[in-house]
A and B are shown apart, each in its own frame.
Chain A
Amino acid sequence: MNHVAHKDYAGAKLGMWLFLFTELLLFGGLFLLYSAYLSRYPHEFAAAGRDMHVGFGTLNTVILITSSLLAAMAVTAIQRNERRNVLFFLGGTLLCAITFLFNKYLEWSAEIGNGIYPGSPRLIKGPPGESVFYSLYYLTVGLHGLHVLIGGTLLAVVAVRVKRGTVHAGDFVLLENGALYWHLVDLVWIFIFPLYYLIL
């Protein structure tokens, strides 16, 4: 029997997109909770939102947008069969992911140091709207951070395969799907940034 590897490129990409739609609905649900509680506790949300670190938020927005650019450039590079460029761009994306998570660590450390974390004595004593705000903040941003970690790991695996030559110009759907996942991480942050850092 002659085994010819069957590759359904369109099917592989369709599957990735269907998964991304479920992610969209997951984060959409969290944004829905945010807006429903915002309409119930507008003043508490505004007071808590003013304490957010806009500097960290803006810096991380720029980092994620840049990482998204590099991931998209990696896809262009592999289509043009420029392997060195693919590895260079993916390395840049990973560096951005690590920097993002490091900034998140600094930001959360500062907040936890100020006694702001779910169930902390300071939030229990405060108004209920404030603790709802910070619970949603830690849940949404934490879940997003987990996605950054997973996406970074995925792209690192893809980079190893590109280096070994198993992902190449003729078969790069793994890189394309990895990049799609990474762009979703960027998309979610594009909404987290104004909702939590800017509009309140």
Chain B
Amino acid sequence: MTQDNTAHHIISYGKLVTVWLALLALTGLTVWVAHHNVGIGHVWGSLAIACLKSGLVVAFFMHMKYEGRLLRWLLFIALVTLAIFIGFTFFDVLYR
């Protein structure tokens, strides 16, 4: 028997295609930004667009928007851990 202990949320094809179109538009934007805006600003701009794109993929394609609190907290902890690694490394690299 299949024991169903999670609510399955079905995401419609239309919603997935909308997310795909948004991802394509953001890809176009990031290529445009890279070619039209030289300087340190475009590094942060490109990274911000990449974060936005991965947010869309995680929320909709990976169903995180519809998951329970446990998975959301674990994702949050994993990202904070990564941020601490990066933060502490740069604390060393930039001020040595």
Name A's B-contacting residues (CB within 8 A): 4-10, 13-14, 17-18, 21, 24-25, 28-29, 32, 35-36, 39-40, 54, 58, 61-62, 65-66, 68-69, 71-73, 75-76, 79-80, 170-171, 179-180, 183, 186-187, 190-191, 193-194, 198-199
Residues of B within 8 A of A170 (CB): 2
CB distance from B89 to the nearest CB of A (A): 6
Of B6, B10, B78, B94, the residue contacting A76 (CB under 8 A) is: B10
Q: List chain A residues, Cβ under 8 A from B1.
A: 4-5, 7
Q: Is the CB of B82 within 8 A of A35?
A: no
A-B contact pairs, 11 of them (CB 8 A): A7-B1, A8-B3, A24-B78, A24-B82, A39-B90, A58-B31, A69-B20, A72-B61, A73-B16, A170-B2, A190-B50
Write out the residue numbers on chain A whose beta carbons fall within 8 Å of the beta carbon of B19. 69
Interface contact B24-A9, CB-CB below 8 Å: no
A17, B75: Cβ atoms closer than 8 Å = yes
Please give me the residue from chain B that is nearest to A31 by CB atom: B86
- Chain A residues with Cβ below 8 Å from B11 are 72, 75-76
Contact, CB under 8 Å: B57 / A183: yes
Contacts of A6 in B (CB 8 A): 3
| B27 adjacent to A61 (CB under 8 Å) | yes
By size class, the interface of chain B is 35 or more
For the complex, give the distance between the alpha carbons of A58 and B33 in Å: 13
Contact of A194 among B8, B49, B60, B70 (CB under 8 A): B49
Q: Is the CB of B30 within 8 A of A198?
A: yes
Question: A13 vs B67: C-alpha distance in the bound complex, in angstroms?
Answer: 11
